[in-house]
Amino acid sequence: MTQLPPVHVEGVAFWTAQLPDWQTARAVIRGESLPPQARIARPTPALLAPTERRRAPDTVAVALEVGMRACEAAGQDPAMLAAVFASTHGDLAISDYLCATLAATPALISPTRFHNSVHNAAAGYWSIGTKAHAPYTALSASVHTFGNGLLEAATQALSAGQPVLYVAFDAEARGALASMAPSRGLLGVAVVLGVETPAKPSRRLTLTVAPCDTPRPTSARSPAASLVAHNALAPCLPFFEALADPSPRALVLTLGEQLELQVGLQ
């Protein structure tokens, strides 16, 4: 077992169709209100120019939205933050488009959709929109993506002694690929992790990496669970349920087939 020194959760953001901000999501998670009936198709992040807002892939739109909201909540200038972007599958709609077009008319591939197909497209648009020259990374770890991204963000914050933005997202699968990489709806989440005790109240996050025979991840159990259950990033929800609860909480996320992330929130 290896425990990292604690970091602070300075800002939180959440977006899915019926829970389009952290205040709404937190209230639904706590059972204080019912999910709004209205389903928003996708966010319209202010970071993108109006023409780009319509053209940007869903993954980019949701990543920029939650990234910006988490920085606002943390009172951090996004241009100054290193960032970790995690997504299980990247943009499945673009992957479906590429595979279908290659099978039919390969010479007609759209250059824009091709450069938007890279796993770091959302990260790239984020750095362009925020004018952030700080490094970003973009990673994937199958069903263990959220936990690995969280650990990488905390590791970066501790190694640099600077706050780090962590953004995770997954989108709706399309076409035949949906049978192999199932994911429904659009879900984006973000936190800013800092190393110094912030002026305003924040949660202290302690991460412990523990080998095990079989990870026993904490199950989501709030009323929000059914709203994200079929998204590939659904394993992130227990972490946000713990953040929504002001009392100290412990939970487990998976990191691998024989590795778990024990998460303490105080």
Partner 1 sequence: MHFQPLVVSAYTLCTAAGDGRAATLHALRERRGGLRRNDFSHSPLETWIGRIAGLEHQPLPAHLAAWECRNNRLAWRGLLTDGFLAAVAAARKRYGAHRIAVVLGTSTSSIGASEEAYRRLEPDGSYPPDLRRPIVHTPHSLGDFVQHALQLHGLCVTVATACSSSAKVFAQAERLLRAGLADAAVVGGVDTLCGSVLFGFNSLELVSPEPCRPFDAERRGINLGEAAGFALLEREPARGPRFIGYGESSDAHHMSAPHPEGLGARMALEQALARSGMQPQDVDYLNLHGTASLRNDEVEARLVAEIFPAGVFASSTKGWTGHTLGAAGIVEAAITLLALEHGILPGTLNTRRLDAACGPQIRCENSAGEVRRAMSFSFGFGGSNCVLAFAREAQA
Q: Name the residues that contact partner 1, by CB under 8 A.
A: 2, 4, 88-90, 95, 98-100, 102-103, 106-107, 109-111, 114-121, 123-125, 127-128, 130-142, 145, 148, 151-152, 155-156, 158-159, 176-177, 179-181, 209, 211, 255-259
Closest CA to 251 of 221, 230, 229: 221
99, 80 contact by CB (below 8 A) = no
For helices 22-29 and 237-244, the axis angle rounded to 10 degrees is 80
Give the Å distances, CA to CA, from 92 to 89, 147, 171. Answer: 6, 21, 7
Which H/E stretch holds residue 8?
A: strand 7-16
- Tell me the closest approach of the beta carbon of residue 35 to partner 1, in angstroms: 29
Token pair in block for residue 141: 């770890």
Residue 103 or 199: which CB sits closer to partner 1? 103
173, 184 contact by CB (below 8 A) = yes
- Tell me the closest approach of the beta carbon of residue 69 to partner 1, in angstroms: 20
Residue 88 or 218: which CB sits closer to partner 1? 88
- Tell me the closest approach of the beta carbon of residue 118 to partner 1, in angstroms: 5
Closest CA to 21 of 58, 57, 56, 62: 62
Residues 6 or more apart from 251 whose CB is under 8 A from it?
Answer: 218, 238, 239, 241, 242, 262, 263, 265
- Tell me the closest approach of the beta carbon of residue 264 to partner 1, in angstroms: 17
Token pair in block for residue 227: 């709203």
- Tell me the closest approach of the beta carbon of residue 177 to partner 1, in angstroms: 6
Residue 32 or 257: which CB sits closer to partner 1? 257
- Tell me the closest approach of the beta carbon of residue 258 to partner 1, in angstroms: 4
Residues 6 or more apart from 158 whose CB is under 8 A from it?
Answer: 4, 5, 7, 195
- Tell me the closest approach of the beta carbon of residue 155 to partner 1, in angstroms: 5
Token pair in block for residue 130: 């925020």
Residue 27 or 134: which CB sits closer to partner 1? 134
Residue 27 or 262: which CB sits closer to partner 1? 262
Residue 90 or 185: which CB sits closer to partner 1? 90
Residue 120 or 206: which CB sits closer to partner 1? 120
